[in-house]
């Protein structure tokens, strides 16, 4: 069929490595089209050593390889993105094909703003405690402004900015931003989905 032929071309002649039933399942579980899933599989496979490519569905790509993707190389949140999407039991931030697909799905244009904001919150929650506190906000600002001396904010500027962010977002005034507060702010910022999110 035309679909099988397209799959063979996309996979460089190895379409059989991604079973058709898996393709359908991935399409149901993500915001990606079949073609995007096949392309993702090809890209994921190319990050693996040649001898592992035949079993890409069961292989893990080390974080160092994930970070070579052009879309992540310049992203200030690259380390956090790997941490949030990796399901590695070893905590090494390596990715399985399904982790990789989840990441692509969240960053696709088809993902809902609710899904995008949920993952953005997790990425910005540097200490993984379920809230954005002052330390998280400082790290977030540092990531966005760059670590260079000329772009670094003074302590007073940082304090003022964090105060402004909390005044705008901390609805229950507990000194931190929780997920629902974050999503409330994001819902009023239509440009958020395109903000600092890699288009993979």
- 139 and 84 in a single domain? The answer is no
> Could you tell me if 102 and 155 lie in one domain?
no
Indicate which CATH number applies to the domain containing 34.
Answer: 1.10.238.10
Domain contains 143 = yes
Biggest distance spanned by C-alpha atoms of the chain: 64
What is the pLDDT at residue 149? Answer: 66
**How confident is the model at residue 192, as a pLDDT?**
59
| 12: DSSP letter | T
CB atoms within 10 A of CB 151: 10
CB 181 within 8 A of CB 170: yes
pLDDT recorded at residue 59? 95
Is the same domain home to 97 and 127?
no
Residues 81 and 121 in one domain: no
pLDDT at 2: 46
Same domain, 124 and 177: yes
**Residue 174 host element (H or E):** none
Residue ending a domain, among 66, 87, 107, is 107
pTM for the structure as a whole:
0.84
pLDDT tens readout for residues 77-116: 999 999 999 999 999 999 999 999 999 999 999 999 899 9
Count structural domains, the chain.
2
* Ranges of the chain with pLDDT below 70: 1-16, 147-149, 151, 190-200
SS (H, E, C) 63-122: HHHHCCCHHHHCCCCHHHHHHHHCCCCCCCCCEEHHHHHHHHHHCCCCCCHHHHHHHHHH
Give me the pLDDT at residue 148, please: 65
Question: Does one domain contain both 119 and 98?
Answer: no
* Within a domain: 9: no
pLDDT at 144: 86
Domain boundaries, position 159? 113-196
Q: Looking at the domain assignment, is residue 7 inside a domain?
A: no
CA–CA separation, 71 and 164 (whole Å): 30
Query: Are 122 and 85 members of one domain?
Result: no
Q: Are residues 147 and 183 in the same domain?
A: yes
Angle at the Cα of 31 from the Cα atoms of 67 and 78, rounded to 5 degrees: 20
């Amino acid at each position: 069929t035309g679909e099988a032929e397209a799959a063979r071309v996309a996979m460089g002649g190895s379409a059989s490595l991604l079973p058709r039933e898996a393709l359908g399942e991935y399409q149901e579980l993500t915001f990606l089209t079949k073609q995007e899933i096949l392309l993702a599989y090809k890209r994921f496979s190319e990050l693996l050593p040649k001898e592992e490519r035949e079993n890409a569905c069961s292989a893990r790509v080390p974080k160092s390889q994930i970070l070579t993707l052009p879309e992540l190389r310049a992203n200030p949140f690259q380390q956090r993105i790997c941490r949030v999407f990796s399901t590695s039991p070893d905590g090494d931030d390596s990715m399985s094909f399904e982790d990789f697909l989840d990441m692509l799905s969240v960053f696709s244009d088809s993902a809902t703003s609710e899904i995008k904001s949920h993952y953005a919150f997790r990425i910005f929650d540097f200490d993984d405690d379920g809230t954005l506190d002052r330390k998280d906000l400082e790290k977030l600002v540092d990531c966005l402004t760059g670590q260079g001396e000329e772009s670094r904010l003074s302590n007073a500027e940082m304090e003022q900015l964090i105060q402004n962010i909390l005044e705008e977002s901390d609805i229950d005034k507990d000194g931190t931003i929780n997920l629902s507060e974050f999503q409330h702010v994001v819902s009023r910022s239509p440009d958020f989905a395109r903000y600092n999110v890699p288009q993979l």
